[in-house]
Amino acid sequence: MPQSDEAAAFFEAVYMAVQEIPHGKVTSYGHIAHLIGKRKQVGQALKHLSTDPANTFHHGNVPWQRVIAAGGVIPRRDNSSGAARHAEVLRGEGVIVTTRGGGGGLHVDMSGEYGWFPNVLPSKDGGGDWVSEETMFPVLF
């Protein structure tokens, strides 16, 4: 997909930030946006992540599955099978995914051991302070 230089730089910033999420942890699209200092569509960048390992960033080296919606909701994308695949990959990392609500939505408890919410990217200052999702994002993204 052809991109402007600005869009390409944004996508790269998203992919590099997502690569820092530890195995077995999840964070929100909004938190990635906060960490890279951009209020853009992180989900769009992940949607366009290449499946071709010849590309610098691709499904094999950017753990896309570790980014979910605020509040721990695994997005349905265009269909429920996409959410089921997303949940399956997270479960493979040891993350507990539950069914929540009458609509059967898939959910991860981000307030406990699975949430990853550093105040800054570890690569930027050796670990940073940690904040809760509720403190960082009182309004859902």
Secondary structure (DSSP) of the chain: ----HHHHHHHHHHHHHHTTSPTT-BEEHHHHHHHHT--S-HHHHHHT-B--TTSSSBTTTS-GGGEE-GGGBPP-TTSHHHHHHHHHHHHHTT---EEETTTTEEE--TTTTTB--BSS-HHHHTT--B--HHHH-SS--
Phi, psi of 107 (to 5 degrees): -145, 145
Domains of the chain as residue ranges with CATH: 5-135 (1.10.10.10)
| pTM of the shown model | 0.81
pLDDT per residue rounded down to tens, the chain (141 residues): 557 888 889 999 999 999 999 999 999 999 999 999 987 789 989 989 999 999 999 999 999 999 999 889 998 766 668 889 999 999 999 999 998 765 668 999 999 899 999 999 999 875 444 444 444 433 333
